[in-house]
Structure 1
Amino acid sequence: MSRLRRGWWWLALLLLVGVLAWVFAGRSQLATSSPAQRDADAAALHDPAIIARGEYLATAGDCAACHTARDGQRYAGGRALATPFGDVPAPNITPDPETGIGQWNFDDFWRALHDGRGRHGQLLYPVFSYTSFTKVTRDDALAIFAYLKSLPAVQRPNSEPGLDFPYNVRKSLLAWRALYFKPGVFQTEPAKSPEWNRGAYLVQGLGHCNECHTTRDSLGGIEQDRHLTGGQIPAMNWYAPDLSTQAGGGLAGWSAPDIVDLLKTGQSSKGAAFGPMADVVRLSTQHMTDADLQSIAVYLQSLPPRAPAVAAAPFKRAASHEQGGKLYAQRCADCHGDNGQGVAGIYPPLDGNTSVTEPTGINATRSVLLGGFAPVTAGNPQPYSMPPFAQQLSDEDVAAVVSYIRQSWSNQAGAVQAADVSTYRHTPID
């Protein structure tokens, strides 16, 4: 849907705001803690054990990834988060009293995390993933707040969002929230194991995996009935795969050790982390405990099988298949093998690799253009990388070799067009 049509949708929704405001405003406000609770919260902010747990939880939630500008000071904000509606800069969350959260108390922080409202009650843009963070428990939120308050204060003023009308009208978020946001802390399922519940809590809440691995509609809302079924990351031109390991899933055939290996080291027998996921592994998941990673794997393995895609036209190889095969033999086979089998622990396989066969072809195309760089981790401190070919191959060549990879061996995915390669070639990296 075009920006113009999305704008008309928003204008129509704005007409609902007057009605929705009084319906939802009361439900959205959180009660303020009692004086005794506030005193207990304030005391907890100085507890070394709580601060240490908060550091772990902030790392598991990958908070620094958004709240740290490139070459900037950690948690001091300034990174512009791209959306289809404009850029939203992440704020400073160090305890600076003027530009950070130095004047915030825990009630303020809890309201932001759980209800998506700022210190003064203003509605926060959902580029801050409160749609997932609402599931974080109060104790965990307090620990994260204690850690953030323990950081050195950095004075760095916050920038205003670069959103056009009508997206810059915060009150219009009342309508958006009515459609897409339901606040509520994660509730355990008694019939499931503690390990499953821990994994569900991390994936659904703190890890906010749904924010990338689920399709969004034209208004930027997550389609709740498509939980973790994969989707194109808005404004980034990467595809986050379906996370089911069952039949039809994006991780079909992955074992629990495969999942743990990828999250811990950036590499597994099934593939390697690259693009945005490489940063997630580098900054977040490699630092998580083996028990938490195992819990995540248990939860992902419980996701249901996926329904077969709607029957399409019979599989037909691209006309450029022969040309693509020659390019593959020249540029790719030395590392990835004549049959796309890869080299265990070094070069990822391409045959049966769902990052290669995902619906759009974006990931394979951008990897050929930009190169493939696995994250440096404690478990894989010197990963092998793939050189970029953007300067060596034309759009037609890239389309041919990517189509060949997507349509060889056991792979039967759609061909990639040269026009799409041109689009991805000119997409900003960050």
Structure 2
Amino acid sequence: MRRLLYVLIFLATLGILAAFAIVGLNLRGETKLPDPPTAFNSTAQLVERGRYLALAGNCAGCHSALGAAPYAGGVGIETPFGTVFASNLTPDPAAGIGRWNSDHFWRALHNGRSKDGRLLYPAFPYPNFTRVTREDSDAIFAYLRTVPPSPEPNRPHELRFPYDTQAALAVWRALSFTAGTFDSNPDKSTEWNRGAYLVDGLGHCIACHGTRNVLGATQEKLGLSGGLIAVQNWYAPSLTSNREAGVAEWAPHDVVELLKNGRSERGSVMGPMADVVYGSTQHLTEADLLAMASYLKELPSTSTAVASTTSPKREARVMEHGQRIFDQRCAYCHGDQGQGAVGAYPPLAGNRAVLMNSPVNLIQIVRHGGFLPTTAGNPRPYGMPPFRIVLDDTDVAAVLTYVRGSWGNDAPPVTARDMLRQ
């Protein structure tokens, strides 16, 4: 009994020490609310700046549900742990942030805490927004105070136990989050530093283009090396690889065109990135887009194109089946040799999106269609219809295997296992 008592005391001591450690780690860089609150004076200029910054951060993308009031929340963000619902950011005093002051808002962005100190879920990307300056936070807050108030109540999150507890969130934060700031690199240009601030801070690009660990935290050390967007089953390609979506070899103009119009001579956007261009980057200034291009072009390269000594094995019957489908369904737009049509349909021969190791995006596009965003520079974009009604999994795998193995393409075939992963 005495030995058991000692073991229990030891375990209790470890538990207390762990609890203190978790609390201490959660307080790293903590922002204390000043008393009295910081004086806040809004101006028309500040509001306009905040409107622009909210676009740069794509705030409406999560906080504005289709057909509902702007910034009234309600959008469900699906995660492997359940669904997090975006909150109401309108100035409604009961449902929104009408009773918040600028200090509360700054703490939410910088520390991931709500007005009452409650820990926020990182579906709200405060691990990136922690780099946003206080001046920009105040500007966004000034803008949000001008949007029409909506009484739409916040929907409770639908998370599985124990992920729905503040204790579990505190453990996550202790392991995965430290409040920080954006630090300019004195060895880089002003333009490059502005691009870094937009990409790594407001733009929170790593939220999609980064790898996540088993706890759902982005792995900062791996940078923008690509990652599967959980639940949505879209792969955000690596921005550091010239085999995926790296732009080191692109002209700055082509990067700007892609972010501004959704397409350029070097590529086009579909899937979740089309939503980003539609709701955010198409509204940015030429200067900011060039800054982002400057930063993205100088990202450290993580891979180079390497010629394979052996071609992937493809079954002749699958290639023949795939070619029949391509000739019937695809060649009219993409050309008999996968050459595409300039300004309308992308080429499939030599297309990086076709040649990536992971075929998940291609499967999504064939099944559900591929649509570029409507932008001022491309107001009537061409799109690809969904084929899930007329093509079953065997057909989709066959036609993609054919496309990935024709006209000089030499990517691995699409297998039944690939189809099951979707």
- Normalized against structure 1, the TM-score is what? 0.89
Structure 2 counterpart SS, 1:120: coil
For the residues of structure 2 that align with 1:197 and 1:315, how far apart are their CA atoms? 42
**Where in structure 1 are there 5+ consecutive unaligned residues?**
1-13, 425-430
In structure 2, distance between residues paired with 1:313 and 1:87: 45
Give the letter for the 1:235 counterpart.
V
* CA distance in 2 between partners of 1:110 and 1:211 (Å): 20
Aligned with 1:368: secondary structure? helix
1:93 deviates by 0.4
Q: Aligned to 2:49, what secondary structure does the other structure show?
A: helix
CA shift in 2, pair 1:65/1:404, >3 Å? same
Q: Work out the number of aligned pairs and report it.
A: 406
1:23 equivalent in structure 2: 24
253-262 vs 121-130, which moves further? 253-262
> Match for residue 38 of structure 1?
38
SS of the residue 2:28 aligns to: helix
The reply to whether residue 150 of structure 1 matches residue 146 of structure 2 is yes
Match of 1:116 among 76, 97, 112: 112
Q: Offset of 1:15 from its aligned partner?
A: 9.2
Please tell me the residue identity of whatever aligns with 2:198: L
Q: For residues 257 and 16 of structure 1, what CA distance do their matches in structure 2 show?
A: 55
- The partner residue of 2:246 within 230, 248, 251 is 251
Following superposition, the deviation at residue 394 of structure 1 comes to 1.4
CA displacement, residues 190-230 of structure 1 (integer Å, 9 cap, x when unaligned)? 11001100110000000000000011111101122210111
For residues 178 and 310 of structure 1, what CA distance do their matches in structure 2 show? 40
The equivalent of 1:292 in structure 2 is: 288
- Deviations 1:312-333, CA, capped at 9 Å, x for gaps: 9943143112221222222212
Higher alpha-carbon Rg: 2
Deviation at 1:423, TM superposition (A): 5.1
Task: Report the secondary structure of 1:228's partner residue.
Answer: coil
Name the counterpart of 1:409. 407
Determine whether 1:400 maps to 2:401: no
State the Cα deviation string for residues 146-180 of structure 1 (Å, max 9, x = none).
00011111001111110111111112222212222
User: 2:235 corresponds to which letter in structure 1?
Assistant: Y
Report the RMSD for the aligned CA atoms in angstroms.
Answer: 2.2
Deviation at 1:16, TM superposition (A): 8.0
Q: Cα–Cα, structure 1 residues 339 and 89, in superposed 2: closer, same or farther, change >3 Å?
A: same
* Whole-angstrom distance in 1 between the partners of 2:202 and 2:44: 21
After TM superposition, the structure 1 stretch with the greater mean CA deviation from structure 2, 69-78 or 317-326, is: 317-326
Aligned residues of 2:90 and 2:97 also touching (Cα < 8 A): yes
CA contact (8 A) 1:20 1:175 kept: no
Does structure 2 retain, via aligned residues, the 8 Å contact 1:269–1:348? no
1:411 Cα offset (Å) = 2.9
Q: Is the 8 A contact 1:116 1:123 kept in 2?
A: yes
Q: Is the 8 A contact 1:317 1:407 kept in 2?
A: no
Task: Give me the whole-angstrom Cα distance separating, in 2, the residues matched to 1:15 and 1:81.
Answer: 34
Equivalent pairs: percent with the same residue? Answer: 49
1:167-316 aligned at under 5 Å gives the runs 167-244=163-240, 247-248=242-243, 250-251=245-246, 253-307=249-303, 314-316=310-312
Choose the corresponding residue for 1:367, options 353, 365, 368: 365
Q: What TM-score, normalized by structure 2, do the two folds share?
A: 0.91
Q: Please give the alpha-carbon distance, in whole angstroms, between the structure 1 residues aligned to 2:153 and 2:33.
A: 28
SS in 2 for 1:87: strand
Pick aligned residue for 1:62 from 55, 58, 64: 58
Q: Deviations over 1:249-308 (max 9, x none)?
A: 533543322211111111112222111111111111111111111111111100112146
Q: Which amino acid aligns with 1:395?
A: D
Deviation at 1:419, TM superposition (A): 4.7
* Residue 404 of structure 1: how far off its partner (Å): 1.7
- Tell me the secondary structure at the aligned position of residue 107 of structure 2: helix
Equivalent in 328, 334, 337 of residue 335 of structure 2: 337
The whole-number CA distance in structure 1 between the counterparts of 2:301 and 2:314 is: 30
In structure 2, the residue corresponding to 1:27 is in which secondary structure? coil
TM-superposed CA distance for 1:17, in Å, is 5.3
**Alignment partner, residue 71 of structure 1:** 67
Offset, 1:34: 6.2
Once residues 270 and 329 of structure 1 are traced to their aligned partners in structure 2, the CA distance between those partners, rounded to angstroms, is: 25
Distance 1:278 1:371, change over 3 A: same
Letter in 2 for 1:211: A
Q: Which moved more, 1:206-215 or 1:307-316?
A: 307-316
Q: Structure 1 stretch 207-216 or stretch 267-276: which is displaced more? A: 267-276
Asked if structure 1 preserves the Cα contact closer than 8 Å seen for 2:23 and 2:170, the reply is no
The separation in 2 between residues aligned to 1:29 and 1:194, in whole angstroms, is 29
Q: Could you tell me which runs of 5 or more consecutive residues in structure 2 were left unpaired when the two chains were aligned.
A: 1-14
SS of 2:77's partner is strand
Identify the residue that residue 323 of structure 1 maps to in structure 2.
Answer: 321
User: Which residue matches 1:3?
Assistant: none
Deviations, residues 54-99 of structure 1 (Å, cap 9, x unaligned): 0000011100010012221110001111001000110000000000
Are the structure 2 counterparts of residues 150 and 422 from structure 1 closer, same or farther at C-alpha, using a change threshold of 3 Å? same
- Write the letter of the residue equivalent to 1:49: Q
